Amino acid sequence: MATTLIARYQVQPGKAELVENALRRMAEAVRADEPACLLYNANVAVDDPNLFCLYEVYEDDDAVIAHRETPHFQEIIEGVIVPVLVRRERELFRRAVA
Amino acid sequence: MATTLIARYQVQPGKAELVENALRRMAEAVRADEPACLLYNANVAVDDPNLFCLYEVYEDDDAVIAHRETPHFQEIIEGVIVPVLVRRERELFRRAVA
């Protein structure tokens, strides 16, 4: 069964555009380099332009671990996005229905 | 920009299998009858077999409203699932990156 990761990023005021552009680059890198990532979406809350919610589906748990070890994760997520976050949350699921 | 709905269902103990089967039927009905629903996934939390998280993406807000008015929403979600829920939450997003 596929592994789903839901991540929430509460972004510092004024940094939403920077984060959205970085996530767009991230999605392109994931698509190019991570065939075991089945889905990579980023959403912005309707009632809070500074709240991002990522929905990521991987073939298995190993692919989630591998994702975090990629150069683009280190460069874009840890290097560009994390420094402008107020809060970061992460939940793991098994995808039951698709 | 597409509209994303994330719904959380905390299910009564002993009812997870019933809910998972109902969500499978629901996904089939959505696929058959709602072309404006771009994605319909249901996930179960790794650390709580009674916590479901639905990830649904629609072409626009109107499609979200139409979804709630379908016979399968009324029959399966309101009729089968809601009666066995402890808690139900719902958040709306704009999909920014896909």
Min Cα distance A96 → chain B (Å) is 5
Domains of chain B, residue spans: 3-94
Cβ neighbours of residue A14 under 8 Å, at least 6 residues apart? none
| Contact present, B19 and B53 (Cβ < 8 Å) | no
On whether any CB of chain A is under 8 Å from the CB of B98, the answer is yes
User: pLDDT, tens digit, for every residue of B45-85?
Assistant: 999 999 999 999 999 999 999 999 999 999 999 999 999 99
CA–CA gap between residue B45 and residue A94 (Å, rounded): 6
Dump pLDDT digits (tens) for A28-45.
Answer: 999 999 999 999 999 999
- ipTM of the shown complex: 0.95
Q: What is the domain class of A3-94 according to CATH? A: alpha beta
Instruction: Inform me whether the C-beta atom of residue B16 falls under 8 Å from chain A C-beta atoms.
Output: no
Q: B2 to chain A: nearest residue by CA?
A: A43
Is pLDDT of B1 > 90?
Answer: no
Q: Chain A contacts of B41, Cβ < 8 Å?
A: 4, 57, 95, 97-98
Nearest CB to B93 within list A23, A43, A92: A43
Residue (of A84, A94, A89, A92) closest to A23 by Cα position: A84
* Rounded Cα distance, A14 and A52, in Å: 14
How far is residue A98 CA from its own chain's centroid?
19
Cα distances (Å, whole numbers) of residue A38 to A41, A50, A91: 10, 26, 17
* Confidence (pLDDT) at A20: 98
Residue A1 has pLDDT above 90, yes or no: no
B7: confidence class by pLDDT, cuts 50, 70, 90: very high
A25 contacts: CB under 8 Å, gap ≥ 6: A72, A76
Question: Is A27–B93 a contact, with Cβ atoms under 8 angstroms apart?
Answer: no
The rounded distance, in Å, linking the Cα atoms of B80 and A96 is 18
User: Could you say which of B27, B52, B94 has the minimum Cβ distance to residue A44?
Assistant: B94
Residues 6+ apart with CB under 8 A from B37: B30, B31, B56, B57, B58, B59, B63, B67
Q: Which residue of A has its CA nearest to B17?
A: A96
